Amino acid sequence: MQPYSVEQVANLLGLHVKTVRNYVRDGKLKAVRIGKQYRITREDLEAFTGQPVVPETVRRHRAVEVSSVVQVDAISREQTDRISNAVIALANSGSAEGKLRVEAIYDEVRASLKIIVIGGVADTAALLTIVDALTKE
């Protein structure tokens, strides 16, 4: 396996490139200088982190996510609270994997509610069906 560049190590560890360079310069992370660049072996990186390095070729699980914004006009604060509480409770009742993220924003001046939903396609569709039912008068 090829040694890692400073940029690759920074990406793997979620650090800034300058931070990794400082670790190398301070001797905290062992590296070999080749020309103007440092190279870090997998073994040295594992010794530094104390954990095995996940190779970049690891297959990731495919995730499909949808973002939706629902706007409801001419709605009172009381109706907003009722709908928002119901929608957020429903979103949080799902499994950890299928959990939806929901944000509700009320604009008092415009009497407008925006519900933002982010999550899986099927779960979001089901929640939007409920939002539709809750917002009908």
Closest listed residue to residue 94, CA positions, set 68, 50, 126, 62? 126
According to DSSP, the β-strands at 66-72 and 112-119 are antiparallel
Q: Are 6 and 45 in contact (CB under 8 A)?
A: no
| pLDDT interval class at 98 (50, 70, 90) | low
| pLDDT for position 137 | 65
Give pLDDT tens digits for 32-52: 999 889 999 999 999 999 988
Q: What is the largest CA-CA distance in the chain?
A: 71
The model scores a pTM over 0.85: no
Spatial contact of 87 and 131, defined as CB atoms under 8 Å apart = yes
Q: Is 60 exceeded by the pLDDT of residue 95?
A: no
Q: What are the φ/ψ torsions at residue 25 (nearest 5 degrees)?
A: -65, -35
